[in-house]
A and B are shown apart, each in its own frame.
Chain A
Amino acid sequence: MMPEVPASVSLVWLVVLLPLLGFLANGTLSFARPTATRAVSAVGAGVLVAAFVVAVAVAVGVARGAPEEPYVVTYWSWMPAGELSVDLAFQVDQLSTVMLLVVTGVGALIHLFSIGYMGADPGYARYFSYLNLFVFFMLLLVLGASFPVMFVGWEGVGLCSYLLIGFWFEDKVNADAGKKAFIMNRIGDAGFLVAMFLIFQATGSLSFQEVFRQAPATFEVGGTTITLITLALFLGCTGKSAQIPLYTWLPDAMAGPTPVSALIHAATMVTAGVYLVARTNVLFALAPVSSLVVAAVGAVTALFAATIALKQWDIKRILAYSTVSQLGYMFLGVGVGAWTSGIFHLATHAFFKALLFLGSGSVIHALHHAYHATHRHEDAQDVRNMGGLQRHMPWTAALMWVATLAIAGVPPFSGFFSKDEILSRAFTRGHEAPVFYVLWAIGVAAAVLTAFYMTRMMLYTFHGPNRTGDKEREHLHEAPWIMTGPLVVLGVGAVAGGVLNLPHILPAAGWLDMWLEPVTETGALFLPELHLEAGTEWRLLLGATVVAALGIGTAWRLLDPAALRPAAEAPAELGFARVLARKYYVDEIYDALIVRPFVWLSDRVLWKAADAFVIDGVGVNGAAQVARFAGWVGTRLQTGHVGTYVGLFVLGTLALLRVLTR
């Protein structure tokens, strides 16, 4: 039974259409009038603000209606083929509403920030057209009512990510990074496709409602099919959300403009995998092995990426590995069946990580201008070239500290609640199987490291003496209000986002749990009843606080920003620090084990040996040579001497006579 769609919810098409119109308008402008920056800003940011307003109206509609079943709005039949019927339809429920608000809300703020950050770029119109297009696809992703429609958004955001990472395409590194992102995403997407094939084979449908309705009856718990489906889906997630083994594209993706890193590679696109697992929670609940894989990969990624972040110097790369690590937490959450916690951390992370990225953007912006003013070519993203920036950029410094405390898990900032919730849920599952205790411990270890490397980054960037350069120092200044304004709004979110879902021992607790209950209740039926005693919960909260304090305190004591040298003079890393700084050589290993063998195989074996030599040379032209040789043998008989011809003629005649007169 599909519930009647309220009028405000049926406006959802407008949310999607607005960014698309923005893309078309800005795309046209980028060809027709690339210098019309005011029009581009108005359209680019305007459509996002308008989309956010409509999204709020949609959310109000959902809140009023409080539907048990999602609202599904169907527009047209997309791919009808026999029993396969894929409609272009949107599914509006509590989960997609949360995503809708995050995407349009954070998106609008980042669009506003971009006006200041990208204002001087010659590709301004192109930038905004890509950014609008990204939001369009992201909305398709979260609103799609079926796997294929979601997949349109899923691959579409990958495309925009590719275009925006390679936005400054003249640099080969940037173009390479974009391509790498797209191809690694595609590897995951192949998994998504296979999952869809399996689902269609098993249920004869690809629409969420139909599949989820059939799932409990069709699949047995822990069956092979459902395990394969969910593992294939998770392969898609590892690509899109940068988990082991497909995470290496995300740090490289920092080649794109910083607001892109904030929007696509921190707040929205990379969280699509978490959204997917939460969306298909029924399927994952039926496949405990897959869920465990999700949780384990998430936990290991969280720790692994955190260790790499310890030794990075590029401010954006630190944040990138931090993103990979935090996404790991989200997967740990959705993997242990705490889907709400995963989404909760997704939302709070969107606030504080977007804030961190935009803040780092402000810093890079300032350094870039300073170096530009003195014509020096130094790395404007290397923290070794920063230091003491709080004196020049107090707003940015303060706001980034807020976000740092949030991500480090210091109460009462938002990240404390969301991360603690994931860890405590993992801990609770430990009653059922001890492996969850291991995952919990890995998560705690990663939390210590998180607090440590974030404090390290902040210390080096904003504290101690300045290492930018004496002349450059005079040019350092705070960003304009169009950039700091969005930071303030995000800061409010980073501080207070925790109220969305407070622990059950506090008053007004579990609001998000209740909100998402219609989405997660079917999946929850297949999980053991999770119960945590108040005492244990208190102890876990306290422990989380200690963990955060431990990380921050250790960093504060161990690291001395005054001892740091500027990047150009810095000594090389030694020992394990070098392994960390080189990211465990994973890129090199992938290159040596996968990329180069494939290119070698294609070039030498398949093309030059198999295709050109065997098939075309020996086979096709060989056949032609055989024909030519037969002709050559024939011509040998043509001596040109009449005597030979006559002799043969006589012999032939005699032979013929012999045969005929036999």
Chain B
Amino acid sequence: MAALLTGIGYERWVLDALLVLPLVGAVIVMLRPAAEAKRLALWVAVVEFVVSAGLWWTFEATAAMQFTVARPWIPAWGITYRLGVDGISLFLVLLTTLTMPLAVLGSWTYITERERPYYALMLVLTTGMLGVFVALDLFVFYVFWEIMLVPMYFIIGVWGGARRLYAAIKFFLYTFLGSLLMFVAILIIYVLVGRATGQYSFAYEHLLGNIAVAQPWAFWLFGAFALAFAIKVPMFPFHTWLPDAHVEAPTAGSVILAGILLKMGTYGFLRFAVPFFPDVALHPGVQATVVTLAVVGIVYGALVAMVQPDFKKLIAYSSVSHLGFVMLGIWALTLQSVQGAIVIMLNHGISTGALFFLAGMLYERRHSRDIAAFGGLAKVTPAFAAVLTIVSLSSIGLPGTNGFVGEFLVLVGSFGTYPWATVIATTGVIFAAAYLLWAIQRILFQKLDKKENEGLPDLSARELLVLGPMLACIVWVGVYPAPILRRIEPAAQALIMQVERSADPATTVARGTPDVD
């Protein structure tokens, strides 16, 4: 497979193709009749996935950036269209391309008006998200970061629920606030590095290699990056846009929001904030703050999720909890915890994405997201019940499903660095069981006591087609994650080495040396 792909020059054109294809698709969707919009969008998304699938075989398990592209864009300011993929971004790219066809298919009957702009925006969103994950030039990264905000704003604001405008504006302003600060930080780094080296360039490697000159400003620069990413993650207490946006967004919007957009925050920490400013990241005060917020997020998100009457809101708060594990894993900076964090990012996309699809399917049938509106559905919709149970178990982190692998690696890796935080985080697995089992009990089990629920149709073939790939991933990642972990390991290793090397030795010793061989 790899040889075949190399034969057609796959490495050279794949990233360009992945970014351009959805844009071309969006134009075609806008030009063709509305009736064809979803079919066209689905085809484009499927082709996009097929193209990206080759990355799996051609990716080599090394720390190096692969499939790199570099073309001058605005040479006068040192801006280069520079792309590449490593073990950290590989699976986020694949997750994105896998989620998008499912999101289009999941919108099939949900979106009934203004189909053309909807599907076109979905495709533009694809480019934006992929761009964020593959950009290796900070200016290009920022451009993609903002590009992706716009379609999401419209998807929530136009096709959303009753309070869609409030949610959309809150989402936009909140994220925008952070990203502007980040942009300022990027410009400051650019100027400082340019002044010191004489070469003004936004290239990731260039800035990373000479970041030492920004040392006096490091705390504030890190703060700007961290705030932008923390809002996106979202970390407690910057999370309140999330429940609103999730609840009001159309199904596919929630899926993409939870599945992919949130990962940009944690990706940002892994790619920029931590490797750029290891001294600040490992400063005891910053460590204490981040780890505390992560652990608070885990427990708090789970407890608040437990008492939500609205199913989508419950899932939204569960995301706060899950992403807390990722932050803990990133900050623990051991090989296991960082690999685990990346695996959780992947898992959360699959499991929570599937949960949002299921919530959307309920909504399409009953026009309610209220848990209390259901009960006893296992009787009328057994297939739905089976899938919801399996997906919930994956979200709970039952061993044998994907959820366990990520959580276990994060916790086992973090224990050496932050034993107490890890022990508290471990209680999160108890609360996770509590909120999800309680919810599915009230939805699926007990008496079928509402007349409206009696004639509900079970999952259709299209819906099974949406959920099937996610179920397959749940089992696959749970049972045989080794190929994934092997592809992540070199990049995670390199990240840790980078941080350890450049961090001030004094703080590193104070923090205890993590287990890295």
Residues of A within 8 A of B (CB): 30-31, 76-84, 148, 151-152, 154-156, 159, 162, 166, 169-172, 175-176, 178-179, 182-183, 186-187, 189-190, 193-194, 196-198, 200-201, 204, 598-599, 601-603, 606-607, 610-611, 615-616, 619-620, 624
Contacts and interface: CB of A to CB of B under 8 A. Distances in A.
19 contacts: A76-B482, A82-B334, A82-B489, A83-B515, A83-B517, A151-B399, A169-B446, A170-B376, A183-B430, A189-B429, A190-B427, A197-B412, A200-B412, A201-B415, A598-B303, A599-B307, A602-B306, A607-B304, A615-B240
Contact of B379 (A162, A170, A196, A602): A170
Given A82-B493, A197-B412, 19 more contacts: A30-B382, A31-B382, A76-B482, A78-B482, A79-B409, A79-B481, A80-B482, A84-B412, A159-B393, A169-B444, A172-B445, A175-B441, A187-B430, A189-B430, A197-B422, A598-B303, A601-B303, A615-B239, A620-B241
Contact of B441 (A80, A179, A197, A624): A179
Given A148-B408, A179-B441, A200-B412, A193 B429 contact: yes
Contact of B339 (A81, A176, A194, A606): A81
A615 B382 CA distance: 40
Interface stretch (B35-43, B124-132, B269-277, B431-439): B431-439
Contacts of A183: 430, 433-434, 437
Contacts of B411: 193, 197
B170 A606 contact: no
A578 B335 CA distance: 57
Contacts of B482: 76-80
A340 B486 CA distance: 41
A614 B426 CA distance: 27
B413 interface: yes
A152 B399 contact: yes
Contact of A179 (B174, B239, B408, B438): B438
Nearest to A193: B426
B448 interface: yes
Contact of B408 (A30, A79, A156): A79
Given A170-B379, A607-B307, A76 B441 contact: no
Contacts of B444: 169
Contacts of A84: 335-336, 409, 412-413
B303 A79 contact: no
B148 to A, nearest CB: 22
Contact of B415 (A200, A602, A620): A200
Nearest to A149: B399
Contact of B429 (A178, A186, A615): A186
A351 B134 CA distance: 61
Contacts of A186: 429-430, 433
B506 interface: no
A41 to B, nearest CB: 21
Contacts of B399: 148, 151-152, 154-156
Given A155-B398, A190-B426, A603-B307, A170 B489 contact: no
B181 to A, nearest CB: 14
A201 B300 contact: no
Most buried by A among B241, B335, B379, B446: B446
A81 B400 contact: no
Contact of A607 (B170, B308, B412, B415): B308
B480 to A, nearest CB: 7
B503 interface: no
Given A183-B433, A183-B437, A616-B240, A198 B307 contact: no
Interface in B273-290: none
Most buried by B among A77, A193, A606: A193
B433 A82 contact: no
B446 A81 contact: no
A178 B437 CA distance: 9
Most buried by A among B334, B400, B422: B400
A180 to B, nearest CB: 10
Contact of A602 (B239, B303, B376, B441): B303
Contacts of A189: 429-430
B208 interface: no
B250 to A, nearest CB: 22
Contacts of B386: 31
B237 interface: yes
Contacts of A187: 430
B416 interface: yes
Contacts of A154: 399
A80 B419 CA distance: 22
A152 B485 contact: no
Range of interface residues on B (Cβ < 8 Å)? 35 or more
B445 A620 contact: no
A277 to B, nearest CB: 20
Contacts of A148: 399, 408
B437 A182 contact: yes
B174 A620 contact: yes
Nearest to A151: B399
B429 A190 contact: yes
B32 interface: no
A620 B170 contact: yes
Contacts of A599: 306-307
A619 B237 contact: yes
Contacts of B174: 620
A361 to B, nearest CB: 23
Interface in B374-414: 376, 378-379, 382-383, 386, 393, 398-400, 404-405, 408-409, 411-413
A580 to B, nearest CB: 30
B516 interface: yes
Contacts of B187: none
A440 to B, nearest CB: 35
A615 B237 contact: yes
Contact of A606 (B300, B382, B398, B438): B300
Contacts of A166: 441, 445
A182 B382 contact: no
B356 to A, nearest CB: 20
B151 interface: no
Interface string B300-313: 10011011100000
A159 B306 contact: no
B195 interface: no
B240 A204 contact: no
B447 interface: yes
B304 A606 contact: yes
Nearest to A152: B399
Contacts of B412: 84, 196-197, 200
Contacts of B237: 615, 619
Contacts of B188: none
A611 B515 contact: no
A170 B445 contact: yes
A201 B337 CA distance: 13
A81 B336 contact: yes
A151 B411 CA distance: 15
Given A169-B378, A194-B423, A607-B304, A79 B445 contact: no
B253 interface: no
A610 B386 CA distance: 35
Most buried by B among A82, A162, A178, A198: A82
Contacts of B300: 606, 610
B353 interface: no
A77 B434 CA distance: 31
Given A81-B409, A148-B408, A193-B411, A31 B383 contact: yes
A614 B113 CA distance: 38
A79 B516 CA distance: 16
A375 to B, nearest CB: 21
B448 to A, nearest CB: 7
A602 B302 CA distance: 9
A310 to B, nearest CB: 33
Interface string B173-184: 110000000000
A219 to B, nearest CB: 17
B265 interface: no
